[in-house]
């Protein structure tokens, strides 16, 4: 058995406009690093957390990284001592799947450390246990793309059925992350429990159109299918200057623009890197005199998901 392993797991964009709780894709950056070390004894402890401003729990029953590891140890009867280090490399409450990245990184790392040889489908169930701690619900639109890489569709949850979706190779994503936080739980609470049939029909049509556009390399179809009639109208009110940012993205080369997950991050899909860079420059210029600070990322789609950083 290995003595130590470090794993990176990527940030993700979920919902992709119309696909609430069922669609997501992985980014090349940012992401989280998790290190798992084998130590003397039998227990599991979190020995170090960085990048969290002291906000994450060291209690292994309450941390998204340790919960899946504890479950795997129990299910496979692995009685070894472990130390877990978590290095947060992305902002909290950003809508970029921060909790999912830590959960996936830890699940992937322990699978490698213990030589379990689990498939990604098998690891998915354990990673979801960590996400459950963070959000209070089972939703895989961050966990699945983080673990599988690329674009994923969650066809169903009982049992969970993850479908890989092909996509245009020249697709780029621009992330604008305003310097505010939005709680996933709170962002879910403001959503309606029921929607009208006419709204559902429009949403179903856009989900189908988005998948078709990705498979056909049809950027125009991708763009017009990303309209969200359920979450964006309500959640956009929580994000300062959302309408301005979206308008600037669409007028500077974005084929589609919406909220990443529960927000406040806003993502724009472009054909090629040049348009992605133009969007950032335009938003920088327009928000220079506004009371909103923001970070940004420009990324291609991460095809692989988590990766091993080192092994000892």
Handedness of CA 225, 132, 104, 58 (dihedral sign): positive
Is residue 184 part of the annotated active site? The answer reads: yes
SS3 226: coil
Residue 33, CA distances (Å) to 8, 20, 44, 130, 162 in order: 5, 27, 18, 15, 24
17: which residues sit within 8 A by CB, 6+ positions away?
206, 210, 225, 226, 227, 228, 232, 256, 258
**CA distances to 9, 34, 74, 123 from 78, in Å:** 24, 20, 7, 16
Q: 131 catalytic, yes or no?
A: yes
The active-site residue, picked from 64, 174, 184, 270, is 184
Write the CB contacts of 282 (distance below 8 Å, at least 6 apart in sequence). Answer: 248, 249, 251, 252
Find the catalytic residue in 64, 131, 152, 174.
Answer: 131
Q: Rounded CA gap, 16 and 95, in Å?
A: 11
If one counts every other C-beta atom within 10 angstroms of the C-beta of residue 37, the result is 17
d(CA 43, CA 267): 41
Give the ranges where the chain is alpha helix by DSSP (H). 66-75, 98-113, 120-135, 143-148, 184-189, 197-216, 219-225, 232-235, 242-251, 273-287
Q: What is residue 62's DSSP assignment?
A: T
The residues annotated with a catalytic role in the active site are 131, 184
């Amino acid at each position: 058995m290995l003595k130590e392993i470090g794993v990176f797991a990527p940030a993700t964009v979920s919902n992709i406009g119309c696909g609430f709780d069922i669609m997501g894709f992985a980014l090349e950056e940012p992401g989280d690093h998790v290190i798992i070390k084998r130590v003397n004894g039998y227990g599991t402890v979190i020995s170090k957390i960085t990048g969290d401003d002291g906000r994450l729990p060291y209690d292994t029953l309450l941390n998204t990284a340790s919960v899946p590891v504890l479950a795997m140890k129990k299910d496979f009867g692995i009685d070894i001592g472990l130390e877990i280090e978590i290095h947060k490399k992305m902002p909290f409450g950003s809508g970029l799947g921060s909790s999912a990245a830590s959960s996936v990184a830890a699940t992937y790392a322990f699978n490698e450390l213990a030589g379990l040889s689990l498939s990604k489908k098998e690891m998915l169930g354990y990673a979801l246990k960590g996400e459950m701690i963070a959000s209070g619900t089972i939703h895989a639109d961050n966990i699945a793309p983080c673990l599988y890489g690329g674009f994923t569709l969650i066809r169903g949850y009982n049992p969970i059925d993850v479908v890989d979706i092909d996509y245009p190779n020249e697709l780029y994503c621009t992330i604008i992350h305003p310097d505010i936080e939005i709680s996933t739980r709170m962002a879910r609470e403001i959503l309606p429990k029921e929607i009208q049939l006419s709204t559902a029909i429009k949403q179903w049509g856009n989900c189908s159109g988005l998948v078709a556009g990705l498979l056909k390399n049809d950027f125009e179809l991708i763009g017009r299918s990303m309209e969200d009639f359920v979450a964006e109208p309500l959640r956009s009110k929580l994000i300062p200057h959302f309408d301005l940012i979206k308008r600037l993205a669409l007028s500077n080369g974005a084929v589609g623009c919406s909220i990443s997950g529960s927000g406040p991050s806003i993502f724009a899909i472009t054909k090629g890197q040049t348009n992605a860079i133009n969007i950032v420059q335009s938003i920088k210029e327009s928000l220079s005199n506004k009371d909103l600070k923001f970070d940004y990322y420009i990324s291609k789609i991460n095809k692989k998901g988590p990766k091993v950083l080192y092994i000892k």
